[in-house]
Amino acid sequence: MCEGLRVKIMEQSRVSAPPHSASPNSLPLTFLDLPWLFFSPNQPLFFFPFPFSLSHFTTFTLPNLKLSLSLTLQHYFPFAGTFVPSPEPSKPHIVYSETSSVSLVVAESSDDFSHLCSNHARDANRFYSLVPKLKSGKKKIPLMAIQITVFPDSGICIGLAYLHILGDGRTFHNFMNTWAAYCSSQQASSFPPKSPPFYDRSVIVDSHGLEEVFLKQWRRKKTSFIDETKVKSSSSSLSDLVRATFLMDPTQMEKIKRFIVSLCREKSQPEHLSPYVLTCAFLWVCLLKTHQLTDNDEDVHYKDPAYFGFIAGGMTRLQFPVPANYLGNCVGFGRASAMREELLGEGGIVVAARAIGGTVKKLDHGMLVGAEKWVSDWEVMNGSELHVVATWSPKLKLYETDFGWGRPRKIEEISIDKSRAISLINSREVDGGIEIGLALPHKKMESFTMFFNQGLNAIS
């Protein structure tokens, strides 16, 4: 069945907070929000088991989803707002009012729910009909759109597209948890969030003068940002792309750690061999080997540096306190660097772990040191197959999100198709495990799978 026949739009509407629950206001972007102006929207898909009929969904489930979303927006009202790219000298900001609303599309899919929720390689284009579209204008840009797709007698997919300037993964996770809690509550109208969001921007202290640095960079590229927010349903450049999920469990992480230690008997061990660093180091080497095997690109110079970028949490790294329920971004950027030739060598995983772990330690000592280069550093990596970027965080317990139908069957981040990033979230099945989401052309996915499995077998 072709993609266009898999999903039928049942309803298009807008959902706003209850009347008189949000006063007209605006939120300026802080210096920690501004770098995200240079990135495309996030596009997470949450697949939930739902063994009920379409009539049950439309009669009982859908009204509750709408009501609970409305109740959530009374606390997270900026999610229904718009981004205003103000002309100089004003700063860009988020605007919301009592009439602000979120676009909601309700659809029915005849696709194979179990197939979409599996881990093996699947056609990436089959997911795009589940992704909502952010319809952007030049003066105001919506911050979030939602699509709820029902697979009768099988499941529900809640798809979102949102601009990262709204907040980091922690903020998004708090939003989803509040929506899910309202939806699953027996008395939804009176259910209060455990920790309502905190909006005071004064807690973010710009002691390094980074706001003006990022604003200058933003003003030079404002037009390209507006174009980037227009999310396409599919792309011919992704026609051969497949997406797959891999699992790294604690036992495998420990084996990788012991393997690295054994290779460093006569040298100092890499710093900070955490589960995250071990997983990223292993993936970095596997991906570089994959591209080396399949590209045969004469323009690639193996004596050049390769980069691994990741998101660094700021709650424990910044020198000023930020409440855990702060609504906004409180993360920084880390970029590890190593010579490609060394990463592809016999001790490549040690080189990778040393580079990533060392970068983590530098961020621990001063997250904002060198932050003026965040945007330029990451522009080199965005969409590149020569470098690797990791998005999301296993520390966010995304699989604990429960709307009343049980935990998600699967979570996919669709934006990695274009950015060529990898997503790292907590495992659904294994406590302490990390679930790795990856999108590659079909032949490269086969090669990566081979390197991934052979690499784990070699150290077992």
- Residue 37's Cβ-side half-sphere holds a number of Cα atoms within 13 Å equal to 31
Residue 400 corresponds to which tokens in the numbers above?
């604990």
Q: Which residues pair with residue 318 across a beta bridge?
A: none
Q: For residue 124, which amino acid is it?
A: A
Q: Compute the C-alpha angle 20/133/145, nearest 5°.
A: 25
CB 141 within 8 A of CB 226: yes
Residues in the chain: 460
| Separation of alpha carbons 123 and 34, rounded Å | 34
390: closest CA among 234, 241, 277, 222? 277
| Separation of alpha carbons 253 and 460, rounded Å | 10
**DSSP result, 88-149:** TTSPPEEEE-TT-EEEEEEEEE-S-HHHHTSSS-EEGGGGGGGS------SS-EESEEEEEE
Distance of CA 289 to the CA centre of its chain: 25
How many beta carbons lie within 10 A of that of residue 296, not counting itself?
A: 8
105 Cβ contact partners less than 8 Å away, ≥ 6 residues apart = 9, 11, 12, 132, 145, 146, 147, 148
CB 62 within 8 A of CB 146: no
DSSP 188: G
Please give the positions annotated as active site.
164, 402
Q: For residue 26, which amino acid is it?
A: S
The secondary element (H helix, E strand) that includes residue 438 is strand 434-441
CB 243 within 8 A of CB 62: no
| Separation of alpha carbons 217 and 194, rounded Å | 38
Task: For CA atoms 343, 346, 347, 349, give the dihedral sign.
Answer: positive
Range list of H helices, 41-103: 54-56, 62-73
CA-to-CA separations, 239 to 115, 242, 243, 266, in angstroms, rounded: 18, 9, 12, 48
